Amino acid sequence: MVGEDDHDQRAGTDAFAVLDLIVERRLKRGLVAVVDSLALDGKRRRAYVAAARKHGVPVHAVLFETPPDVCRARIKERGLPAVPAQVFKKQLADLEGVRRTIADEGFDGVHAPTDVIELVAPDVLAAPAAAARQREDPMTLRFGLQIPNFTWSGGPAELRDRLAAIGRAADGAGFESLWVMDHFFQIPQVGREWQEMLDSYTTLGYLAGVTERVRLGTLVTGVTYRNIAHLGKIVATLDVLSGGRAICGVGAAWFEREHLAYGWEFPPLGERFALLEDALQLLPVLWGPGSPAFDGKIVKVPEAMCYPRPLQEHVPIMVGGSGEKRTLRLVAQYADACNLFGDADTVRHKVKVLHQHCAEVGRDPSEITITHLSRAVVGSDAKDLSTITDALRPERANAESFAASVGAATIDDHTGRFRALAEAGVQTAIVNLPNLDGAEQVARFGAIISAFE
């Protein structure tokens, strides 16, 4: 790219500058970068390790042990000017130095060359070992199914039947809970705003009628969408009609575009958090005895009246979000559960922060359920997974990035991933299935649930 031809060694410095730029840009975007180089310069190797650490990706070295006579034969076969004997001798000596030091240079692994069997996302890299731990010393983990998308084949005319089939399949597959988003048109992280989006609590009421066992909730209701006392009435109704299966998910709300479209106020973040704190205090009062007045920071209710009461003595309240200063502190003060994102290390850190808040407010952290939300595309093996993922992947999307974005993994690798999350403190893993179109995908996930029963 920068020389007069492919063999212009005078352009070596410029060539390495281009290589470094490519590696940096790929790592910045989370793409796999394979550097094919002699890599005899320790400074360059350390630079690759530093670049990987900067962008939070693993870095591995492959150490080739090609015999010197084979190297000489290959050089001769190329028909190019031979590498000077003294230069080649120095390269061999440098290689001996690399062998002695590379194990201590910070690589996540140093390997002999072999065929690449499968390329996996970083969070699945340690999955086989974690899956083995789950087989040898099982941990329990509950699972929830989130349904964030209702754009299915057959359109709105078939939507009701497909939703019922999914709900019943979740009941049968061992999911403990079913969740829908509380949005009024599709969010940009999932699809286009003109795609199908059902009203959350109407949908949960319908699911209550077609299921028997799973708990039902929103992940999560924005506190700006409804009068808080009215929200308490809605959740109480869901609890009664579902036979005591309601969970109340609430959050500070974030989707300003939705508020503008429906004419709702979208107050500054500080006010939304004040409203969330009022909700966390008012909702249990509404579901409790009598009809006392409530005077919060923003919400004032002369009579906290709600009949019939929920069937549950205590409707669990889950707070969405993992902000360390405000959200997790509110969880420690008022909530029964929180919902976190990220890999096992991220979760472990967030749980530690939550426990610190619990200590400060005098709360037993064991009273709070740690839930986690992620995507999952499930294949029975690598070939099956590739077929499923390729069918989902947009035409021009990078295969490895897309697979990572939808949580594509085999049953065994998912088992390992969830085992690592359980070890980090997760008690309920909530998943959405990007290829969900009916009962089949739900049932397929049941094999993972079975590993944690």
Residue 121 lies in a domain: no
Instruction: Note the pLDDT of residue 117.
Output: 63
- Dihedrals phi, psi of 38, to nearest 5 degrees: -60, -35
- Assess whether 313 and 443 both reside in one domain: yes
Residue 364 lies in a domain: yes
- Assess whether 281 and 310 both reside in one domain: yes
Amino acid in position 101: T
- Assess whether 313 and 350 both reside in one domain: yes
Residue 122 lies in a domain: no
CATH code, domain carrying 26: 3.40.50.300
Instruction: Note the pLDDT of residue 118.
Output: 66
β-pairing, 300-301 vs 294-295, is antiparallel
Global pTM value: 0.82
- Assess whether 26 and 64 both reside in one domain: yes
Domain final residue, candidates 114, 138, 162:
114
Domain that holds residue 226: 127-450
For residue 59, say if its preceding peptide bond is cis, omega within 30 degrees of 0: no
Q: What is the DSSP letter of 82?
A: P
In 10 A of CB 103, how many CB atoms? Answer: 12
Give buried/exposed letters for 153-179 (b at 16+ CB in 10 A, else e): eeeeeeeeebbbbbbbbbbbbbbbbbb
Residue 3 lies in a domain: no
Among the residues of 42-192, which ranges form H helices? 42-54, 68-77, 85-101, 127-136, 156-173
CATH code, domain carrying 301: 3.20.20.30
- Whether residue 214 contacts residue 251, with contact meaning beta carbons closer than 8 Å, is answered with no
- Assess whether 336 and 433 both reside in one domain: yes
Residue 278 lies in a domain: yes
- Assess whether 281 and 153 both reside in one domain: yes
Residue 342 lies in a domain: yes
**Collapsed DSSP state (helix, strand, coil) of residue 61:** strand
- Assess whether 105 and 139 both reside in one domain: no
Instruction: Note the pLDDT of residue 120.
Output: 67
Domain final residue, candidates 114, 135, 169:
114
- Assess whether 95 and 167 both reside in one domain: no
Residue 145 lies in a domain: yes
In 10 A of CB 406, how many CB atoms? Answer: 20
- Assess whether 15 and 61 both reside in one domain: yes
- Assess whether 305 and 392 both reside in one domain: yes
Per-residue pLDDT of the chain (453 residues; tens, 9 = 90+): 888 887 777 888 898 899 999 999 999 987 888 998 888 888 999 999 999 999 988 899 999 988 989 988 888 887 766 678 888 889 888 898 898 999 999 999 899 888 876 666 666 778 899 999 999 999 999 999 999 999 998 999 999 999 999 999 999 999 999 999 999 999 999 989 999 999 999 999 999 999 999 999 999 999 999 999 999 999 999 999 999 999 999 999 999 999 999 999 999 999 999 999 999 999 999 999 999 999 999 999 999 999 999 999 999 999 999 999 999 999 999 999 999 999 999 999 999 999 999 999 999 999 999 999 999 999 998 889 989 999 999 888 888 788 888 999 999 999 999 999 999 999 999 999 999 989 999 999 999 999 999
Rounded distance between C-alpha atoms, residue 71 and residue 311, angstroms: 78
- Assess whether 138 and 100 both reside in one domain: no
- Please give the tally of structural domains in the chain: 2
- Assess whether 94 and 154 both reside in one domain: no
